[in-house]
């Protein structure tokens, strides 16, 4: 009887350990600064579970210009820096990759509810429709204007893409960014000035 109890206990312990391994969180450590990021799988895409925090010498700023906010919200980057700032094995997403993400989550009209972190720890306001069911855990990091003015954290987050377009009327090149607002469910594609400081969310190659 004792041996049967021991073998049964061993079986259940092995079963529990196998489940723990099955559902263990996949992570990635950036060798440049030692920061570890969760990896989340959404459809066929693998994303970092947080905004990139790697601090470059130029073209990189802390939200609101405050270093203490970097850990919670990541850095803000100029477009020129953002294009190449993701670590090896990762890249700055195209606008099409963000579009595929939104479609997988039900469309641009409601994808924001599944992408934003719940609660008001890192958003100025929220609603019961926000679920973060994707695990993307977007936070309102704000942005930086080229005049060195900052929008406060909590209102929105805008992510750079690699996709540019030329406005023939203004004779200017703009970049498509994707934005989440604290009080809206949409995930919106918007033209952005490449000199601004926006967030970077890396996607696996």
Report the sign of the C-alpha dihedral through residues 73, 76, 79, 83, in that order. negative
CA distance 71 to 62: 9
Closest among 81, 23, 34, 31 to 198, alpha carbons compared: 81
- Is 21 a member of any domain? no
| Mean pLDDT split into 10-residue runs, the chain, 205 residues | 46 39 73 98 98 98 98 98 98 98 98 98 96 98 94 97 88 94 96 96 98
Is 67 within a domain? yes
pLDDT at 24: 53
* 38 lies in some domain: yes
Outline where the chain has alpha helix (H): 2-22, 70-73, 79-82, 95-104, 111-115
What is the three-class DSSP state of 177?
A: strand
* 88, part of any domain: yes
Bridge-based pairing state of the strands 90-91 and 203-204: antiparallel
Distance separating alpha carbons of residues 142 and 5, to the nearest angstrom: 58
Q: Is residue 47 part of a domain?
A: yes
> Is residue 18 assigned to a domain?
no
Determine the pLDDT at residue 90. 98
The boundaries of the domain holding residue 161 are: 28-204
What are the phi and psi torsion angles at 63 (to 5°)? -55, 135
Residue 6 placed within a domain: no
In a domain, 50, yes or no: yes
Contact predicate 48/36, CB 8 Å: no
Return phi, psi of residue 24, to 5°. Answer: -60, 140
pLDDT at 191: 94
Q: pLDDT at position 6, please?
A: 42
State the total domains in the chain: 1
């Amino acid at each position: 009887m004792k041996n049967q109890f021991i073998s049964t206990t061993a079986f259940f312990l092995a079963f529990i350990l196998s489940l723990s391994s099955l559902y263990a969180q996949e992570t990635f450590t950036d060798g440049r600064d030692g920061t570890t990021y969760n990896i989340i799988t959404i459809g066929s895409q693998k994303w970092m579970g947080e905004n990139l925090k790697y601090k470059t010498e130029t073209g990189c700023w802390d939200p609101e210009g405050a270093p203490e906010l970097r850990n919670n919200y990541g850095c803000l980057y100029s477009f020129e820096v953002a294009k190449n700032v993701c670590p090896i094995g990762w890249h700055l997403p195209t606008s099409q990759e963000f579009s595929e993400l939104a479609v997988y989550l039900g469309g641009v009209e409601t994808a924001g509810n599944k992408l934003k972190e719940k609660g008001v720890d890192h958003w100025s306001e929220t609603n019961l429709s926000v679920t973060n069911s994707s695990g993307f855990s977007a936070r309102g990091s704000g942005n930086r204007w080229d005049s060195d003015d900052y929008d406060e954290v909590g209102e929105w987050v805008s992510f750079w893409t690699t996709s540019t377009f030329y406005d023939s009327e203004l004779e200017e090149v703009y970049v498509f960014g994707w934005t989440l607002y604290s009080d809206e469910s949409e995930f919106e594609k918007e033209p952005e000035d490449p000199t601004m400081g926006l967030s970077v969310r890396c996607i696996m190659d």
